[in-house]
Structure 1
Amino acid sequence: MLRAALSRALSLLLSLAVASLVIFLMLQAVPGDPAAFMLGLNAAPDTVAALRAELGLEGGLVARYLDWVGGMLAGDLGTSYTYRVPVAELVAERITVSGPLALYALALTVIIAVPVGLLAASRRGGPADWGVMGATQLGIAIPNFWFGMLLVLVFAVTLRWVPAGGFPGWSDPLAALRSLTLPAVALALPQASILARVLRSALLDTLDRDYIRTARAKGLSRRAVVIRHGLRNAAIPVLTILGLQLSFLIAGVVVIENVFFLPGLGRLIFQGITQRDLIVVQSVTMLLVFTVICVSFLVEIAYAAADPRLRA
């Protein structure tokens, strides 16, 4: 078990190294000069050159890449070209919105998907099963940003139950959660639809096994068999999808935060792209890649906890 975990950790480190190189090279290939963009079209060439030197844009690609990676390893993500503050400060400020939003959406995904998947599997071929399959197909088909605008129209504009956008801060936790509710629901419902369908398929496959029929023959109710025996043995594909969905949720905040005007990492990346603040874009993107890779590692560790056969 320990050897497998160390081997997987090494492969994850290699993945991070490759991802950092790809992110750096792709952003360097973007046309235009950030210094010239910041100073405007009428800036003098010597002024542009001085700003390039100040921003650390001089030198070869290899030296700049090594400086960036070395700074990240030391906890220094660089300094924003636009805000003139360390990128780490911007990330620390914005992650208090994006982190809770992603976790809130993931919790809603599980809360919605597990009962729905259990209901569909336990009522196989019945009206409940057909209804769940139709609703989840609709949930998969609707883009989350369009669904978010519908939620704003209904619950914020018409009913006025929650705010349409913005974030008041965590000084009032209840108000903060209210402002994150619509974005979290918009992120969660498509993912809950996918997870419910995967859980239903995994449970149906599990419920056809011999040990399930034995449990039923011993007198256990259908509900007890599904929850006590079927659910745990169907956990591997569900954990796989959950790990992927957290990655999708982290990436999805880039769009949803702009729809709801939330000051999170997604909006920070969008502002960095529009303002040609490349150090912000590449550092925050690298942070998101690191988070996704760590989640993948934790999901694989969770496999062993769910299935003792995988601990070897």
Structure 2
Amino acid sequence: MLRALAFRALSLGLSLVVASVVIFGMLQGVPGDPAAFMLGTGARPDTVAALRAELGLEGGLVARYLDWVGGLLRGDLGVSYTYRVPVSGLVLDRIGVSAPLALYALLLTVVVAIPVGLVAAANRGGAADWGVMGATQLGIAVPNFWFAMLLVLLFAVTLQWFSAGGFPGWGDPLAAIKALTLPAVALALPQASILARVLRSALLDTLDADYVRTARAKGLSRRGVLLRHALRNALIPVLTILGLQFSFLLAGAIIIENVFFLPGLGRLIFQGITQRDLIVVQSVTMLLVAAVICVTFLVEVAYAWADPRLRR
């Protein structure tokens, strides 16, 4: 098992190298000059050249790529063109919103999806199964930003139970969690629908296995078979989806963060794109790619915990 994990870690390391080349190449190919954009159309050429040198935009692509990667390895993500502060400081400020939001939404996803998937599988072909499948199909079809606006209208404008947006910081943890609740629910709805459907399908496949029929023949109740035997053996696809969902929730919450005016990583990338702050977009995107790859590796380690057969 250790050999397999070492080989997989090497593969993921190569994926990081390829991702860094792709991200750097794509952003360097974006038309326009960030220095000229910042100074405006009336800037003098010598002023633009001086700003390009200050921002580190001079030199060949290979030298600039190696300089950027070397900085990443040292923990230096560069200096923002717009804010003139280290990108690492911006990331540390924003990750305190994006990471808890992703974990909160993932927790809601699991809390909702696992019982719903179990109920649907236990009542295969029944009214509960059809109801769950219809509700999850609706949850997948509804855009999360539209659902987020409905949540704002109902709970913030009409009932006034929550604020319509903003983040008060972690000085008051209860207020911070309350501010993240509506965004987390908006993010969790489609993810819970997907996870519930995947769990139901995996459980139905497992319930048709020979060992399940043997357990039933020995007198074990259907509920006991479902919880003690079928659920654990159905966890492999569920863990895969959970890993992908956490990566999406961490990196793909740009629209939701903008709807609720949350100062997270998604909003930082959006602001970097609109302001042509390419070093921010480049470094933060690379960090998110690294997070996705690390989560993928942890999910594969979790496979061995869920299914002992995979430890060989």
Q: How far off its partner does 1:126 sit?
A: 0.6
Q: Partner of 2:253: helix, strand, or coil?
A: helix
Q: How far off its partner does 1:219 sit?
A: 2.0
Contact 2:167 2:262 in 1 (8 A): yes
Q: How far off its partner does 1:239 sit?
A: 0.7
Deviates more, 1:169-178 or 1:142-151: 142-151
Matching residue of 1:274: 274
Instruction: Please state if 1:220 is matched with 2:217.
Output: no
Q: How far off its partner does 1:155 sit?
A: 1.0
d(CA) in 2 for partners of 1:91 and 1:248?
18
Q: How far off its partner does 1:251 sit?
A: 2.6
Matching residue of 2:244: 244
d(CA) in 2 for partners of 1:161 and 1:178?
9
d(CA) in 2 for partners of 1:278 and 1:119?
48
d(CA) in 2 for partners of 1:43 and 1:265?
31
Matching residue of 2:94: 94
Q: Partner of 1:188: helix, strand, or coil?
A: helix
Contact 2:253 2:266 in 1 (8 A): yes
d(CA) in 1 for partners of 2:289 and 2:184?
21
Q: Partner of 1:219: helix, strand, or coil?
A: coil
Matching residue of 1:257: 257
Which amino acid letter does the alignment assign opposite residue 219 of structure 1?
Answer: G
Structure 1 stretches of at least 4 aligned residues deviating more than 2 Å after TM superposition: none
Instruction: Please state if 1:184 is matched with 2:184.
Output: yes
Instruction: Please state if 1:23 is matched with 2:23.
Output: yes
d(CA) in 1 for partners of 2:89 and 2:74?
15
d(CA) in 1 for partners of 2:196 and 2:113?
4
Matching residue of 1:139: 139
CA deviation digits over 1:205-252, x for unaligned, max 9? 111112112212222221111011110010111111111111221232
CA deviation digits over 1:264-304, x for unaligned, max 9? 10010011011110000000000000000000000011101
Q: How many residues align?
A: 312
Instruction: Please state if 1:125 is matched with 2:95.
Output: no
d(CA) in 1 for partners of 2:259 and 2:18?
32
Instruction: Please state if 1:156 is matched with 2:156.
Output: yes
Which amino acid letter does the alignment assign opposite residue 141 of structure 2?
Answer: A
Contact 1:156 1:162 in 2 (8 A): yes
Q: Partner of 1:160: helix, strand, or coil?
A: coil
Contact 2:251 2:265 in 1 (8 A): no
Which amino acid letter does the alignment assign opposite residue 246 of structure 1?
Answer: F
d(CA) in 2 for partners of 1:201 and 1:271?
40
Matching residue of 2:105: 105
Contact 1:78 1:88 in 2 (8 A): yes
CA deviation digits over 1:118-168, x for unaligned, max 9? 000001111000000000000010111111111111111111111111000
d(CA) in 1 for partners of 2:263 and 2:12?
30
Matching residue of 1:59: 59
Contact 1:187 1:252 in 2 (8 A): no
Contact 1:243 1:299 in 2 (8 A): yes
Q: Which runs of 5 or more structure 2 residues have no equivalent in the other structure? A: none
Matching residue of 1:42: 42
d(CA) in 1 for partners of 2:251 and 2:91?
15
Matching residue of 1:3: 3
Q: Partner of 2:252: helix, strand, or coil?
A: helix
Q: How far off its partner does 1:102 sit?
A: 0.4
Matching residue of 1:194: 194
Q: Partner of 2:110: helix, strand, or coil?
A: helix
d(CA) in 2 for partners of 1:98 and 1:49?
36
Instruction: Please state if 1:206 is matched with 2:206.
Output: yes
CA deviation digits over 1:182-212, x for unaligned, max 9? 1101111100000000000000011111211
Normalising by structure 2, report the TM-score: 0.99
Matching residue of 1:12: 12
Contact 2:203 2:231 in 1 (8 A): yes
CA deviation digits over 1:43-69, x for unaligned, max 9? 111111000000000001000000000
User: Over the residues paired in the alignment, what is the CA RMSD in angstroms?
Assistant: 0.7
Which amino acid letter does the alignment assign opposite residue 199 of structure 1?
Answer: L
d(CA) in 1 for partners of 2:139 and 2:49?
52
Normalising by structure 1, report the TM-score: 0.99
Matching residue of 1:297: 297
Which amino acid letter does the alignment assign opposite residue 54 of structure 1?
Answer: E
d(CA) in 2 for partners of 1:209 and 1:275?
56
d(CA) in 1 for partners of 2:30 and 2:278?
9
Matching residue of 1:232: 232
Contact 2:247 2:292 in 1 (8 A): yes
Which amino acid letter does the alignment assign opposite residue 74 of structure 1?
Answer: R
d(CA) in 1 for partners of 2:299 and 2:307?
12
